[in-house]
Amino acid sequence: MSDRRQDPEREHPIQDSLSLSVETLRHKGALHELSGVILRHGGDVSSVAILDSGHEIETISFEVNELEDHAGLLEDLQAIEGVQRVKENPALKQIFGKRIIIIGGGAQVGQVAVGAVAEADRHNLRGERISVDTIALVGEENIAEAVRASSRLPRVRVVVLAGSLMGGEIEVAVREVRERGLEVISLNMAGSVPDAADLVVTDAVQAGVMAVMAASSTAAFRISRLKKRVF
Amino acid sequence: MSDRRQDPEREHPIQDSLSLSVETLRHKGALHELSGVILRHGGDVSSVAILDSGHEIETISFEVNELEDHAGLLEDLQAIEGVQRVKENPALKQIFGKRIIIIGGGAQVGQVAVGAVAEADRHNLRGERISVDTIALVGEENIAEAVRASSRLPRVRVVVLAGSLMGGEIEVAVREVRERGLEVISLNMAGSVPDAADLVVTDAVQAGVMAVMAASSTAAFRISRLKKRVF
């Protein structure tokens, strides 16, 4: 019994993609121009990021699938005016993998991170890639905004809310990102957020461990299959 | 005395930017087409990400500066065939801010994260935004690759290497990303990585705290101004 068929990453194996970074003189049309050259080569951009934005030379990195001709694309990119250097890289998805995001108060975020990092270590030792990211914040609006923004970051699977009182707009944001396919774990706390979460965990370290287990494609753990929702 | 004039983020104030996400039917040319419409409106794309890549409907989010006409851009994007929805968002830079990345063995990464998250909390309470990201990894090649890839992620300022023995290819990667403008903090450990780092710290929690202090634009702490390099 395996859920692997449902994992979209397995339908688009990461080995097929070309990851490249292009250093170019900063100008407004750079992204449009580079993506046009990739498109002409039949490439499908699955990931893109702009680095050093605002500097004279900026780097735009792409992960491209379905390319017909790697060498030809690299040559054509290199030939564009302003392009300084084109480099092939290992794909970010292969390096940093799936992401857990822990949001909330510093004391509890730190403890959830301890659990999540230790569990991610165990998974990554066996060939997976799971990374653990955090943002320590105070205030209903700030936290709600960060929860919503998590669904606009690449490769995020699980959000953990680590605090002692969260409700109101944060509860609304939790329901929104669950609609978008993220799983949400809440510490057992005051306020309405635990009611809106997929899973409620009392111990902060365990919440981190369970978040990584939920994101893993090798673990037998699936939140949707649990008979209890509060631990 | 302030370093603020040297901070590129202050030269391009984040308030000016429009952050938007476009939900579109997945097709190869989507990025090229959307970036073309933004360019026609005079927009300069400072950040871009593709979400739900591989799904039938994907979301492409942009942060755009120097726009002449916000409403006109939103209308023209909405009018593109296949576009389901265009939404304005708060900018990711405003929400997650500068990033620290902690790389290494789970036990030590977790402790560095505790220090970094607690310190980020104190900065974020005063209006900054600093987030703390981690990846627990084993093996010289894997760690070297992650160090190099850190310089291809957006908004990263400081990398912390948390382990007990690191050298060889990791040392080379550390020197490369320092060339690219990242600051590197190493735990005091065996191997050649401490020699290659900007700063060496013995206590894991303190290494995390110092990483956040180094990334902060409000703290008086600057690694380049320290008289000692090993703590």
The pLDDT score that the predictor gives to residue A89 is 82
Pairing of strands A57-65, A18-25: antiparallel
Report how far apart, in Å, the C-alpha atoms of B80 and of each of B19, B30, B65, B77, B87 are: 18, 10, 21, 6, 14
Report how far apart, in Å, the C-alpha atoms of B85 and of each of B22, B62, B77, B158 are: 6, 14, 9, 36
Each residue of B131-156: pLDDT tens digit?
A: 999 999 999 999 999 999 998 888 89
Q: pLDDT band for position B30 (50/70/90)?
A: very high
Substitution target from B44, B135, B155, B206 for chain A, most A beta carbons within 10 A: B135
Report whether A161 contacts A186 (CB < 8 A). Answer: yes
Report how far apart, in Å, the C-alpha atoms of B86 and of each of A57, A170, B90 are: 30, 23, 14
Task: With CB atoms and an 8 Å threshold, state whether A54 touches B45.
Answer: no
Interface ipTM: 0.77
The pLDDT score that the predictor gives to residue A128 is 93
Task: With CB atoms and an 8 Å threshold, state whether B32 touches A28.
Answer: no
Report how far apart, in Å, the C-alpha atoms of B74 and of each of A111, B84, B88 are: 42, 12, 9
Contacts of A43 in chain B (CB under 8 A): 28
Q: pLDDT band for position B161 (50/70/90)?
A: very high
Minimal C-alpha gap between A208 and chain B (Å): 11
Average pLDDT, chain B: 88
Each residue of A137-181: pLDDT tens digit?
A: 999 999 999 999 998 888 899 999 999 999 999 999 999 999 988
Minimal C-alpha gap between A47 and chain B (Å): 6
The pLDDT score that the predictor gives to residue B11 is 36
Contacts of B173 in chain A (CB under 8 A): none
| Pairs across A and B, CB distance < 8 A | 206
Residues pairing with A158 in the sheet? A100, A183
Question: How confident is the model over A68-93, as a mean pLDDT?
Answer: 88
Contacts of A122 in chain B (CB under 8 A): 106
Is a pLDDT exceeding 50 seen at residue B111?
yes
Is a pLDDT exceeding 70 seen at residue A126?
yes
The pLDDT score that the predictor gives to residue A151 is 87
Each residue of A183-200: pLDDT tens digit?
A: 999 999 999 999 999 999
Substitution target from B53, B109, B155 for chain A, most A beta carbons within 10 A: B53
